[in-house]
Structure 1
Amino acid sequence: MASVREFQVTFDCAEPERVARFWCEVLGYVVAQPPKGFDSWSEFDRSLPAERQGAWFACVDPAGAGPRLFFQRVPEGRVVKNRVHLDVRVATGLVGAERLAALQAESTRLQALGATVVQVLLADGENESCIPMQDIEGNEFCLD
């Protein structure tokens, strides 16, 4: 049996392109190439029935190291806590006040993009500080 070496992370959302562009800014990703046979996402959308236009969007790590992120429109909003979330690693290797300052600086940048802070969890002797947040549609992620 072959092992899986690639995966993508899929987001259910109301506005795929808007949420994808938010995550491009968060992670330094770029908009993925449109589906095969199309020169742009706009051209792809125009090929679809009106009710399906804008239903998908994707972004990728330009270095090719991170997973592809895929965004698909769903009719319902998020109603419960995410079972899976992304940890955005902005303070790896930092501890104490230096770590908290790096987390807070990134939190400020992401709030300007429309993210919201859920809470600030301070180091407690067992775990280092982190900041749980929500993206522009309420999907949870952590600054770690």
Structure 2
Amino acid sequence: MVARFKDLVLDAKDHHKLADWWCAAMGYVRRDELEPPEDGWLRPHDWPVPIVDPSGAGPLIWVQPVPDRKVVKNRMHIDVFGSTDELVGLGAILLRACGDDIEWDVLADPEGNEFCVFAPR
């Protein structure tokens, strides 16, 4: 084995706002809220924001600040089980609805990062 999965990283113009959006969408929390540092240290505002699944089932996601906005299609994306209507209600944009050729919806988060939504099992 040459490599092993570690974390997932999302680029964001407003990394705090996008971290909060993904927390609301997936039931994640900011890692610093779940595991506050014992010495009271606070993560600098301009540092990436780590968000985690409080149950421990999902991967750690870093929402990283970048100076530019997304302009082209993602080469890699996230697949989730969920409700397209609820995600759109939170601010996602429906890019392509499921149909004859696909069994999932393609959405974009508030900053344009594409992700696919599959019906819950």
Q: Secondary structure at the match of 1:33?
A: helix
Runs of 4+ aligned structure 1 residues displaced above 4 Å come to 34-38
In structure 2, distance between residues paired with 1:12 and 1:71: 6
Question: Does 2:110 correspond to 1:136?
Answer: yes
In structure 2, distance between residues paired with 1:15 and 1:38: 27
Under a length normalisation based on structure 2, what TM-score does the superposition of the two structures give?
Answer: 0.82
Query: Which residue does the alignment assign to 1:39?
Result: 40
In structure 1, distance between residues paired with 2:39 and 2:51: 16
Identical residues among aligned pairs (%): 34
In structure 2, distance between residues paired with 1:71 and 1:62: 17
In structure 2, distance between residues paired with 1:84 and 1:132: 13
| Compared CA separation, residues 33 and 122, structure 1 to 2 (3 A) | same
Over alpha carbons, which structure has the higher Rg? 1
Q: Secondary structure at the match of 2:17?
A: helix
Query: Which residue does the alignment assign to 2:62?
Result: 70
**Among residues 97, 105, 111, which one is paired with 1:120 in the alignment?**
97
Shift of 1:77: 1.1
- Contact 1:15 1:54 (8 Å CA) reproduced: no
Q: Secondary structure at the match of 1:19?
A: helix
| Compared CA separation, residues 44 and 118, structure 1 to 2 (3 A) | same
Shift of 1:121: 2.2
Under a length normalisation based on structure 1, what TM-score does the superposition of the two structures give?
Answer: 0.70
Aligned length, in residue pairs: 116
- Contact 1:17 1:54 (8 Å CA) reproduced: no
In structure 2, distance between residues paired with 1:2 and 1:14: 32
**Among residues 89, 93, 97, which one is paired with 2:81 in the alignment?**
89
Aligned AA for 2:95? Answer: V
Name stretches of at least 5 consecutive residues in structure 1 with no aligned partner: 46-52, 91-105
As a proportion of its length, which structure holds more helix? 1
Deviations 1:98-132 (A, max 9, x none): xxxxxxxx1111112110000112144xx5x2110
Shift of 1:66: 1.1
Shift of 1:36: 5.0
